[in-house]
Structure 1
Amino acid sequence: MSVTSHPSASARVALVEPRTATGIAGDLLEQIHGTFGATPNMFRAVANSPAALASMWSAFGALGGGTLGHKLGEQIAVAIADRNACEYCLAAHTALGRKAGASSAEMSAAQAGRSDDPKTAAALGFAVAVVEHRAQVRDADVEALRAAGFDDGQVVEILAHVALNLFTNYVNVALQVPVDFPAVKLGAK
């Protein structure tokens, strides 16, 4: 497999050039471009490892077909991005959340881990607890999800969203991937 990449002025790894990437990375970057109409820098950074790119892209696809819906998935993503100070994911998922039908106010509230909708609030509260307590949650945290109407499959799906977003947050923060979505200010800590 051959991948052509160019170092970025601020990224800690090269951002793979989609038009010259071949093999698995080239095929996946083509799919990603088809989905977004562009190739976001995060995927270009991850394309340095075709295995990592395949893992990330397949996780996005699988969770996109899950039962939680795109809007809630994006709300979970911004809550986690804010906790991890990931400007890239906060910007990307705020834009994707708006595209999924969330209002600016809903996305701002989600960034803070809140929602006026009790079911959404339960999911965000659980996701934030998982991140802040490194998955050391209580029985009551899981029971709160059930009381809000989530079944066991959806509890697991929320955890899968958390895990995927931790992966993307860590990639973007550790590798200083340049943000290529409209910037969103991190919440006050």
Structure 2
Amino acid sequence: MSWIKTVPFESATGKLKKLYDRVTGPGGNVDNIMMAHSLRPHSMEGHMAMYKAVLHHSGNRIPKWFLETLGVWVSSLNSCCYCVEHHFAGLQRLLGDAARGDAIRVAIEARDLANAPLDAAQVAAMIYARKLTETPGEMVEADVEALRAAGWGDGEILEINQVCAYFCYANRTVLGLGCSTKGDVLGLSPNNSDNPDDWGHR
């Protein structure tokens, strides 16, 4: 599960129980990345609010499947297998094209964007995300200008930036606390995008 103590779903009380109830999936399942916050429920609350806003909010304009693709890419660059597996399953579900999803994953694992079944604008976003993940101190205004030149509007650039930033945070949460996928149900997400307070996973 993780390298620190966590509070099981059945033992939760007070605020933690309320938060667990909000993030549960089928059968009362709580993902291990969320359970890792159980000793400090306020940090779980902050994590879920950011996650929902960045990936599952009706105000976003970029298709969810591509936001998930960026998440898988950043997680792979960070060697976070937990997030790769969770979000690749979500990517496949949202994309609805298993062969294309598999080809995207092969390209990600090979670091070969030229052969990814993505359009030029999407590849530009992946290039930006890689630089921001691996060498954030080297980012320059030209990196944003390249996204504009590829056809992304500034609001969409913000979405790309925030997905990358969120996954770097989530990856470090998982890797630093030793979260495993044991007991998790892969690919679930809070898909009621019109209600930011609905965190239920299904």
Distance 1:170 1:119, change over 3 A: same
SS at match of 1:76: helix
Gap change, CA 1:171 and 1:106, over 3 Å in 2: same
The aligned counterpart of 1:123 is 125
Distance 1:160 1:83 in 2: 16
Question: How far apart are the structure 1 equivalents of 2:93 and 2:81?
Answer: 18
**Alignment-derived partner of residue 102 in structure 2:** 104
SS of residue matched to 2:179: coil
RMSD: 2.3
Task: Write the letter of the residue equivalent to 2:107.
Answer: A
Deviation at 1:109, TM superposition (A): 2.5
Percent identity over the alignment? 25
Question: How far apart are residue 174 of structure 1 and its match?
Answer: 0.8
CA contact (8 A) 1:98 1:107 kept: no
Deviation, structure 1 residue 80 = 1.0
Structure 1 residues 19-168: aligned runs within 5 Å? 19-34=10-25, 38-63=29-54, 64-65=56-57, 66-101=60-95, 103-111=101-109, 112=111, 114=113, 115=116, 116-168=118-170
Distance in 2 between the 1:37 and 1:135 partners?
41
Q: Distance in 2 between matches of 1:35 and 1:154?
A: 33
**Is the 8 Å Cα contact of residues 31 and 185 (structure 2) preserved in structure 1?**
no
After TM superposition, which residue ranges in structure 1, 4 or more long, deviate above 6 angstroms? none
Q: 1:35 to 1:79 in 2, by over 3 A?
A: farther
Q: Counterparts of 1:35 and 1:55 in 2: how far apart (Å)?
A: 23
The two structures have a TM-score, normalised by structure 1, of 0.81
Shift of 1:99: 1.3
Contact 1:15 1:41 in 2 (8 A): no
> Which stretch shows the higher mean deviation, 27-36 or 130-139?
27-36
Partner residue in 2 for 1:5: none
Higher normalized contact order (CA 8 Å, seq sep 6+, divided by chain length): 2
Secondary structure of residue in 2 paired with 1:85: coil
Distance in 1, Cα, partners of 2:173 & 2:179 = 8
**Cα distance, 1:81–1:27 mapped onto 2, change above 3 Å:** same
Deviation at residue 106 of structure 1 after TM alignment: 2.0
Contact 1:113 1:121 in 2 (8 A): no
**Cα offset for 1:175?**
0.7
Alignment partners' CA distance in 2, 1:72 and 1:52: 27
